[in-house]
Amino acid sequence: MASLPHASGKDKAKALRQRIDASLDGLAQAVDDVRASETFRQFLDVQARFHKYSWHNTLLICMQRPDATQVAGYRTWQKLGRQVCKGEGGIMIFAPCPWKREKETDTGETETEQGIYFKAVHVFDVGQTDGPDLPTVDVPTVDARADDLLANLIRVAESRGIAVNFRPISSGPFGASKHGSIDVDNSHATGQQAKTLSHELAHEALHWEDRGPFTRSLAELEAESVAYVVCLHFGLNTEVRSSRYIALWDGDSKALRASLECIANTARDIIDDVEVPDARKAVA
């Protein structure tokens, strides 16, 4: 029985949604596998030993050593198996020291007085220490080529009024979403660039609108999941990178499923936009 064009469009949409849901299921499982792995547990274990410094101390660290990445006291470094190198000057911060003392009142009773004073202490950046590397979670770049997908994604960005700037980015993330423009690091394979561009397109679509408060972790989980679904749809599998990236941003399968609708809809919009010219070709 020949189906009406309208019905076939509906069927196509339904099939696409099923495919998206299946890939998101796979991703959710992969993220949980990363979180359950021994490497990830060791990484979290070490991260937990780094003190979360106050805003004030963070500024002090940044002023004295702008390139500091991981900072800890002399003894903490020793416990982590690393030694502060000879001749390295410490970074001065203020450590809160609570105090307490017993005091006798006029009536002869004992009263406890307490307060906090701040004492200057010195901490050291990982670059000032020597020893075995700390456990990390490697987030490999995508090294496959995807020239066609990249070209199509650039066209999608342009059709949405978003300018894409390709440039080498020396450190930090491979791209940036700037509300109306996107930066993509072009020093990687076109597969990685396509992954980055779909990630930033998702940020552009989802994270500049006023939708109430959300965390950076959630924004990264959503953007990376959209990128994963879009890339996989066009034959580029980014599971290793995407699952580790999401786990490092503290995402898990529960958070992914809670955002499923928003991820699936955003991915479908991008996939549809990429496929538009093919549809036109088919009609012509």
- Considering beta carbons, is residue 223 or 271 the nearer one to Zn ion? 223
- Considering beta carbons, is residue 154 or 223 the nearer one to Zn ion? 223
In angstroms, give the least distance from the CB of 40 to Zn ion: 20
Q: Sketch the per residue contact string, 201 through 240, with Zn ion: x for CB under 5 A, - otherwise.
A: -------------------x--x-----------------
Question: Cβ contacts of residue 40 below 8 Å, gap of 6+?
Answer: 34, 137, 247
- Considering beta carbons, is residue 105 or 170 the nearer one to Zn ion? 170
- Considering beta carbons, is residue 200 or 273 the nearer one to Zn ion? 200
Counting residues that bind Zn ion (by CB under 5 A) gives 2
Q: Confirm or reject binding of residue 142 to Zn ion (CB under 5 A).
A: no
Question: Cβ contacts of residue 118 below 8 Å, gap of 6+?
Answer: 94, 95, 96, 97
Q: Are the C-beta atoms of residues 40 and 250 closer than 8 Å to each other?
A: no
In angstroms, give the least distance from the CB of 184 to Zn ion: 12
Q: Are the C-beta atoms of residues 85 and 92 closer than 8 Å to each other?
A: no
Q: Are the C-beta atoms of residues 5 and 12 closer than 8 Å to each other?
A: no
In angstroms, give the least distance from the CB of 50 to Zn ion: 23
Residue nearest to Zn ion (CB): 223
Distance of CA 102 to the CA centre of its chain: 50
Q: Annotate 142-188 with DSSP letters as a single string.
A: P-S--HHHHHHHHHHHHHTT-EEEEE---SS-SEEE-SSEEEEETTS
- Considering beta carbons, is residue 84 or 184 the nearer one to Zn ion? 184
Question: Cβ contacts of residue 169 below 8 Å, gap of 6+?
Answer: 175, 183, 185, 187
- Considering beta carbons, is residue 129 or 193 the nearer one to Zn ion? 193
In angstroms, give the least distance from the CB of 203 to Zn ion: 5
In angstroms, give the least distance from the CB of 136 to Zn ion: 19
Please report, as ranges, the residues that interact with Zn ion according to CB under 5 A. 220, 223
